[in-house]
Amino acid sequence: MLTAAPKRIAPPTRLLYGPGPSMVEPRAYQAMSQPIVGIFDPYFFDLVEEIRAGLRQAFGTANQMTFTVPASGSGATEAAVANFVLPESKFVVFAAGHFADRMTIMAQRQRANVVRFEKPWGQVFSSEEAEEFLMRERPNAVGFVQAETSTGAFQSGRAITAAARQTGALVIADCVASLGAMPVEMDAVGIDVAFSCSQKGLSCPAGLSPISISPRAWEWLERRPGDPFTWYLDLRLMARYFEPTHAYQHTPSPPLYYAMHQALAAIEEEGLRNRWNRHQKANERLVEGLSRLGFELLVRNPADRIWHLTTAVPPKGVDETQVRRNLVQKYNIEVAGGIGQLAGKILRIGTMGPLATEENVDFLLEALAASM
């Protein structure tokens, strides 16, 4: 009898030097093949609690309401916006990149009155600018992107939160790209709602997005007039699963939790600060190397740069698409090009998690030099 060969897959082993997905922490990979447990198994709740504790550390918060949204980063953005931005309310977005535009569109779809403070892509906002704008607009909520992956610019949020507090506005921060690789410091900065993803600074696969909500924002949510226009991303419903009531809302995917648990354990063992320093050092080395190769950095001021996602303008005559093609074909290296108004103009090079080392930066630079 003829037997058909079993169908197998063999994805290529790429080196993910892009803005995410990034390389998965090796022990997170291993954890994903552990047995699946039920979603009310006491073992699972213990694991989830440890993850929540690890996420509080990474966010720099004491917020009890810290848990995971079953989605990629955009799902967490939508959850934050749909829950905390009311129809007809005024929502100010600090906009200098693609992901601020995405937050804008999501809030418009919630029928909010969105007022954008725009700057050229790659720039950040000063406290004077933020204060002047917020005092004039007096919004109900404010949104900004901490690590704007489309431009490589980092805005801690300190320049925005002080003025937002004065006007009583809730502050929502897109920390999709910063968590786990750079300081989010949510409580110290004064962010009310911070959300992230799993596939960048945390070195996990995509699909599970951390979110953290301050007590004052949670109180606001408890008293929010009307339900949000989303059921799946209703944070009050979702939280009931994570809190002691453990009420069913959606079915969590245990392998993603196993991966996140192990990735957070690796972060804890390395030490968050050590991990940040490692990313910063890798960035310094990468920037030096890129300058030697004739690249210019899109974000001029070093203090405004994301450490683990560097945006570089190629030297004249170098075609970024061809460079990226060569990198994949010859070295199995994936880096990204620009998006939106920066498409075709820049390379976006990620040195995240396991790739944020001297050797891995040097390897990337050598491959890049040979691919130009």
Residues found near ligand PLP in the complex (CB under 6 A): 19-20, 72-74, 77, 99, 145, 147-149, 174, 176-177, 197, 206
Residue 17 CB, shortest distance to ligand PLP, in Å, is 14
Residue 42 CB, shortest distance to ligand PLP, in Å, is 31
How many Å apart are CA 210 and CA 264, to the nearest integer? 12
Residue 313 CB, shortest distance to ligand PLP, in Å, is 19
Residue 150 CB, shortest distance to ligand PLP, in Å, is 7
Residue 328 CB, shortest distance to ligand PLP, in Å, is 19
Alpha carbon distance, N-terminus to C-terminus of the chain: 54
- 3 state SS of 177: coil
- Contact present, 12 and 332 (Cβ < 8 Å): yes
| Pair of tokens at residue 62 | 């004491």
| Cβ distance to ligand PLP smaller for residue 144 or 257 | 144
| Cβ distance to ligand PLP smaller for residue 20 or 210 | 20
Residue 263 CB, shortest distance to ligand PLP, in Å, is 15
Closest-approach residue to ligand PLP (CB): 73
| Cβ distance to ligand PLP smaller for residue 106 or 365 | 106
How many Å apart are CA 113 and CA 86, to the nearest integer? 9
- 3 state SS of 134: helix
| Cβ distance to ligand PLP smaller for residue 35 or 120 | 120
| Cβ distance to ligand PLP smaller for residue 73 or 131 | 73
| Cβ distance to ligand PLP smaller for residue 145 or 263 | 145
